[in-house]
A and B are shown apart, each in its own frame.
Chain A
Amino acid sequence: EVQLVESGGGLVQPGGSLRLSCAASGFTFSSYSMNWVRQAPGKGLEWVSDIRISSTTTYYADSVKGRFTISRDNAKNSLYLQMNSLRAEDTAVYYCARNPIGGAGYFDLWGRGTLVTVSS
């Protein structure tokens, strides 16, 4: 089955760190660009970051630049998001999302998400 499964969410204090993971299965992970998209409770969708096939090309939303780092391990079919200096406004469900073959920036496959809560 083609799927993405996120993990690593939880409760963290402001200023803390968390590492999210996304396990891909059912498709050739190394052939796809990947993304993180988040959704604050009761709010809309916000694109966070993307990483291209090569892993050397990454992009970030201004709201997380310098604090979050996206990475991938094609041998493990996994995507990661290292989140440092977390703030209350980072509280959200974080979705792993795939771009289609060819790299266009829409998202054709989504995981179910993992909840990150930043609170003291």
Chain B
Amino acid sequence: DIVMTQSPDSLAVSLGERATVNCKSSQSVLYSSNNKNYLAWYQQKPGQPPKLLIYWASTRESGVPDRFSGSGSGTDFTLTISSLQAEDVAVYYCQQYYITPYSFGQGTKLEIK
């Protein structure tokens, strides 16, 4: 099974500053035949279901603000929020869908400093 590990577990960033969340998979999630990374990012606010932000490691879901971006390949990935807004306070999860069982990182709690 693929284990997903996020860092840090929690993060406090000032409004308008950059926030960076890291995600590492225990094996590569890059499928060589199509050169796609099977990695997604989600945002979950308290009392709400998760919301898809990014898929294929760097493709932004429709309607997601462009301050959110994803990067990385193979086993190392990053979610970046370029200029933190108050509404971005949430827990962020990465997920691999390279193979079942699909697996999530443990989550990174993002707060305002």
Contact = CB atoms under 8 A, between A and B. Distances in A.
Interface string A95-112: 100001000111110111
A47 interface: yes
B50 A59 contact: no
A45 interface: yes
A111 B48 CA distance: 9
A110 B49 contact: yes
A61 interface: yes
B51 interface: yes
| Number of chain A interface residues as a range | 20 to 34
B14 to A, nearest CB: 26
Interface string A79-120: 000000000000000010000100011111011110000000
Contacts of B49: 95, 110-113
A112 B49 CA distance: 6
Contacts, number: 58
B94 to A, nearest CB: 10
B77 interface: no
Interface of A: 35, 44-47, 50, 59-62, 95, 100, 104-108, 110-113
30 contacts: A44-B93, A44-B104, A44-B105, A44-B107, A45-B42, A45-B95, A45-B104, A45-B107, A47-B100, A47-B101, A47-B102, A47-B104, A50-B102, A59-B101, A60-B101, A95-B49, A100-B55, A104-B38, A104-B55, A105-B100, A106-B52, A106-B95, A107-B42, A107-B50, A107-B52, A108-B52, A108-B55, A110-B49, A111-B49, A112-B48
Interface of B: 1, 38, 40, 42, 44, 48-52, 55, 61, 93, 95, 97-98, 100-107
